């Protein structure tokens, strides 16, 4: 018999408070290794261990490539690196971003599902959008346990809400109560079936580890879509996991449906603002030419330029109102 000795935790916006509450409830003899991805900018200083250690009875440190997996420790993904779990060790990579982040939650969760199976416990804490949902689905699919923060307990409830909506989570709890829950879950004996490592998980983990994928690999993951990658502009493949729909390009960039929608919406707004700028610059030039010609007696042509300037200003104002109304609806 074995026990659940691998705990992977994902957090984003508002996640530091949740992580502090979770860590504060952990005993010093917890028989499991904890791994944390907190979405952060690539240029961050990696100070999350210093923020968590004062409230944790377990040692907290940033991951080092190749370090052994040790129970009774909390390991943090460092800035600008995905953290993957392999057989008995930690792997750091600078593979393609997922949902615009590196480190990202889903690669860590998938690696725990692939290499640890029923031994893994996945926890989704506070954050926006739906990061972590796909990785949580993989953990459940491989026999692990899924835990989500109670959305009303999260400063930003998007991530746990998405996990609860799309995955059959086993437990929903406040962050401060998760320590007690983990003590119980990690002490329960479990049977380990023969490992089953789905090909699609292996392909995606290979992508996170900077391995090349080809059309055959991508065809195993999903189907070609009409969308292109917001990062490298390559074709995106559409991947289905029960209720979850997400996207990945051959390079390895990956997007949840909500993140891709967000990216496309921002791209449209950016294009509209470029149109506004072009129209307003056009109107300014027409106005300048019209006034210049009027000063020199060319009233007929000047009037035409000034009329066109007013029409162009009106079109620019129409676009500005459209952008404002779209923002209010969003």
Residues 181-193: tens digit of each pLDDT = 999 999 999 988 8
158 lies in the same domain as 39 = yes
Of 41, 51, 55, nearest in space to 76 by CA:
51
Of 190, 222, 244, the residue that ends a domain is 190
pLDDT band at residue 308, thresholds of 50, 70 and 90?
very high
How large is the average pLDDT for residues 199-212? 88
40 lies in the same domain as 152 = yes
Determine the Cα–Cα distance for residues 306 and 156; give it in Å rounded to an integer: 50
Of 132, 166, 190, the residue that ends a domain is 190
Q: Residue 305's domain spans which residues?
A: 259-329
Q: Who wins on pLDDT, 41 or 98?
A: 98
Of 171, 190, 209, the residue that ends a domain is 190
Is 21 designated active site? no
First to last CA, the chain: 51
Determine the Cα–Cα distance for residues 307 and 293; give it in Å rounded to an integer: 13
323 lies in the same domain as 186 = no
Of 103, 44, 32, nearest in space to 70 by CA:
32
Q: What is the pLDDT of residue 328?
A: 59
Catalytic residue among 21, 39, 111, 134: 39
Catalytic residue among 5, 131, 153, 217: 131
Measured at the CA of 203, the angle between CA 201 and CA 207, to 5 degrees, comes to 115
Q: Count of CB atoms within 10 A of residue 45's CB?
A: 10
132 lies in the same domain as 20 = yes
Strongest mean pLDDT among 41-55, 269-283, 316-330: 41-55
182 lies in the same domain as 279 = no
Q: Which single residue is written with the structure tokens 């040692």? A: 59
Structural domains of the chain, count? 2
Question: Contact 164/181 with Cβ under 8 angstroms?
Answer: no
129 lies in the same domain as 18 = yes
Residue 92 φ then ψ, to 5°: -105, 135
Does a structural domain hold residue 268?
Answer: yes
33 lies in the same domain as 158 = yes
Catalytic residue among 12, 56, 111, 207: 12
Is 214 designated active site? no
Helices (DSSP H) in the chain: which residue ranges? 15-24, 48-52, 105-116, 133-141, 158-166, 178-187, 199-208, 215-221, 257-295, 299-329
Does a structural domain hold residue 230?
Answer: no
59 lies in the same domain as 163 = yes
Is 131 designated active site? yes
């Amino acid at each position: 018999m074995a026990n659940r000795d691998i705990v992977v935790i994902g957090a984003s916006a508002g996640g530091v408070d949740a992580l502090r509450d979770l860590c504060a409830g952990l005993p010093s003899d917890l028989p499991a290794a904890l791994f944390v991805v907190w979405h952060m900018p690539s240029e961050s200083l990696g100070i999350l261990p210093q923020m968590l250690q004062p409230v944790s009875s377990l040692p907290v440190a940033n991951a080092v490539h190749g370090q052994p997996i040790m129970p009774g420790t909390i390991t943090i993904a460092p800035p600008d690196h995905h953290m993957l779990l392999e057989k008995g060790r930690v792997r750091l990579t600078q593979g393609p971003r997922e949902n615009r982040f590196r480190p990202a939650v889903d690669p860590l969760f998938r690696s725990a599902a692939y290499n640890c199976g029923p031994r893994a416990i996945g926890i989704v804490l506070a954050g926006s959008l739906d990061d972590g949902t796909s990785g949580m689905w993989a953990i459940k699919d491989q026999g692990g346990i899924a835990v989500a923060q109670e959305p009303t307990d999260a400063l930003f409830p998007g991530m746990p809400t998405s996990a609860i909506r799309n995955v059959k989570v086993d437990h929903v709890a406040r962050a401060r109560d998760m320590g007690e829950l983990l003590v119980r879950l990690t002490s329960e004996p479990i049977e380990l079936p023969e490992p089953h490592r789905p090909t699609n998980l292996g392909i995606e983990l290979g992508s996170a580890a900077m391995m090349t994928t080809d059309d055959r690999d991508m065809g195993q993951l999903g189907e070609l879509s009409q969308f292109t990658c917001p990062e490298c502009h390559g074709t995106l493949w559409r991947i289905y996991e029960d209720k979850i729909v997400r996207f990945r390009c051959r390079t390895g960039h990956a997007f949840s449906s909500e993140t891709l929608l967000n990216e496309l919406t921002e791209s449209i707004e950016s294009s509209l603002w470029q149109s506004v700028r072009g129209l307003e610059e056009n109107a300014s030039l027409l106005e300048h030419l019209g006034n210049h010609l009027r000063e020199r007696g060319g009233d007929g042509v000047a009037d035409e330029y000034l009329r066109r300037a007013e029409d162009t200003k009106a079109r620019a104002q129409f676009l500005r109102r459209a952008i404002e109304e779209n923002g209010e609806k969003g």
